[in-house]
Structure 1
């Protein structure tokens, strides 16, 4: 399908036995990113109980190993506290400066505009002379400016966007394209590593600069079959369907399928919205509108509790 190397991310939900990592290796995976921690020493104080075995057995299978922290911080000092907890445990588990340490920024506990807090977390790692850092989040967080790509200290950028032919964000280094890659009898998260940041040991940061400069080129188009139904990164089930919806009342078109997602526009009654998928969640039936640059708008079309439609289907 593509020549880009594969990298898997795993947590305590995935196995830690050697056969699992050998199965990853056999399917062409080059590296794994292991969840190490969550929260801080005075907060969740969570350490993945399988992390040690996962790191050991992944390396034994010949895979490169990196680590990530699931963020729960809100505020600069809180972010630094979580970075300390992560770094302390990652290094204790044997992740050295050659490993990428990434922060997973997707939890609702984070500030709505989280760029400054994420940078405070990353800066702590850099201050410890750990220069190989990255940030993971959903494409919608970048669309809604919860994370501002140009202001982030980490420049690789690991973005999740499922069921698409491209990540939906420009200049992305690593793209989590699915959460259902089949291996060892289960579905797991899988990413394409465009620049080799996780999968090529020669690529990394030295003195704050990429050791190998990657020529910026248009994001390649990768054909990934879109199933008739799928579960997105927020846990909502979507169903493939093409159609048109005539608004019977003014409705908000949003960047996400949530009532608190950023508003693109207020569409007046009489507008026709073309859609390619629908989902029933949060008390509404949502439609997904394809937009330019592989982005999507979302609009409610029906009250899921009363089944009252807000317009008619063409």
Structure 2
């Protein structure tokens, strides 16, 4: 399945039907489920049902209000997970943390304390069996979060917001991609296709089935013919002065050797379509047709 999927993220501001987004080309939906420890999106259930009706993949997100408090982060995460379970969000999908300024979420704290709180939130979701990711603007993540720690713990899991211009954008312009390590998805507009919904493009596979496929039976290789240990170069064409020219491993012709001589064989390979024996260095390969095995 291709890594590049269009996805929309929806909240109570968007309609309950996902039909328009599906027809515009979106294959995935990230539905806002919760905020803080008390708000639940009243449209979430209907939005998820509509997404499934239109054969779209569903993830969930939570808007943070915990700032840099690890204890509040854990409480919000538990609330988020409880709601995700009630809505039957598949554990093959992602639970995203939306950590940005707004609704009382203070981000101007130390990078260390911010990152610690974010990781505390993500751990609760991860321990509940979900895939996890972190959303915010590119500037916020660069200035206030140690994303290297996030990536080290959870892999490629960043969902980055960065717009080339405000207003309608239908397709992402990767000339303006916010190059950062660990980016799983890029939110490139807040007005995708003129539908007044955020437009996102995935950069990694987010919807792969985690079920293990049955192990494939691998045919055992046929035993390789045993290479003789000694070979003899007989007199050829009745001429004791006739010599045989050697090749190197790349197929370039090298020096000549006398006939009526014996050599130890070190290896065997096909060169220029001929079976050859290595009788010295890598520049000393003799075609097998000129020798007798002893």
- State the TM-score bracket (shorter-chain normalisation): 0.5 to 0.7
Q: 1:140 to 1:181 in 2, by over 3 A?
A: same
Q: 1:50 to 1:139 in 2, by over 3 A?
A: same
Larger radius of gyration: 2
CA contact (8 A) 1:161 1:168 kept: no
Corresponding residue number in structure 1 for 2:134? 135
Q: Which runs of 5+ in 1 are unaligned?
A: 207-314
Render the CA deviation track for 1:234-262: whole Å, top value 9, x for unaligned. xxxxxxxxxxxxxxxxxxxxxxxxxxxxx
Root-mean-square deviation (CA, aligned residues, Å) is 2.1
Residues 1:69 and 2:62 aligned together: yes
The DSSP-based 3-state class of the residue aligned with 1:137 is strand
Equivalence map 1:143-162=2 (5 Å): 143-144=142-143, 146-152=144-150, 153-155=153-155, 156-162=157-163
Corresponding residue number in structure 1 for 2:49? 56
- Give 2:199's match in structure 1, choosing from 174, 178, 190: 190
CA contact (8 A) 1:34 1:54 kept: yes
The Cα shift of 1:3 comes to 8.2
Q: Distance in 2 between matches of 1:205 and 1:140?
A: 36
Q: Distance in 1 between matches of 2:128 and 2:106?
A: 24
Q: Distance in 2 between matches of 1:68 and 1:3?
A: 20
CA contact (8 A) 1:176 1:191 kept: yes
Corresponding residue number in structure 2 for 1:178? 189
Q: Distance in 2 between matches of 1:126 and 1:196?
A: 18
Corresponding residue number in structure 2 for 1:305? none
Corresponding residue number in structure 2 for 1:100? 94
CA contact (8 A) 2:60 2:96 kept: yes
Q: Distance in 1 between matches of 2:211 and 2:77?
A: 19
Structure holding more helix per residue = 2
CA contact (8 A) 2:3 2:203 kept: no
Give the length in aligned residue pairs: 191
Q: Distance in 2 between matches of 1:23 and 1:187?
A: 11
Render the CA deviation track for 1:192-229: whole Å, top value 9, x for unaligned. 101121xx333x699xxxxxxxxxxxxxxxxxxxxxxx
Q: Distance in 1 between matches of 2:211 and 2:181?
A: 21
Q: Distance in 1 between matches of 2:211 and 2:64?
A: 23
CA contact (8 A) 1:161 1:178 kept: yes
Corresponding residue number in structure 2 for 1:302? none
Q: 1:165 to 1:3 in 2, by over 3 A?
A: farther
Structure holding more strand per residue = 1
The Cα shift of 1:118 comes to 0.5
Q: Which runs of 5+ in 2 are unaligned?
A: 165-174, 213-294
CA contact (8 A) 2:3 2:205 kept: no
Q: 1:170 to 1:59 in 2, by over 3 A?
A: same
Q: Distance in 1 between matches of 2:51 and 2:31?
A: 10
Equivalence map 1:22-33=2 (5 Å): 22-33=19-30
The Cα shift of 1:60 comes to 0.3
Equivalence map 1:161-310=2 (5 Å): 161-163=162-164, 165-182=176-193, 186-197=195-206, 200-202=207-209
CA contact (8 A) 2:60 2:94 kept: yes
Q: Distance in 1 between matches of 2:182 and 2:132?
A: 16
CA contact (8 A) 2:3 2:202 kept: no
TM-score scaled to structure 2, two decimals?
Answer: 0.61
The DSSP-based 3-state class of the residue aligned with 1:180 is coil
CA contact (8 A) 1:135 1:154 kept: no
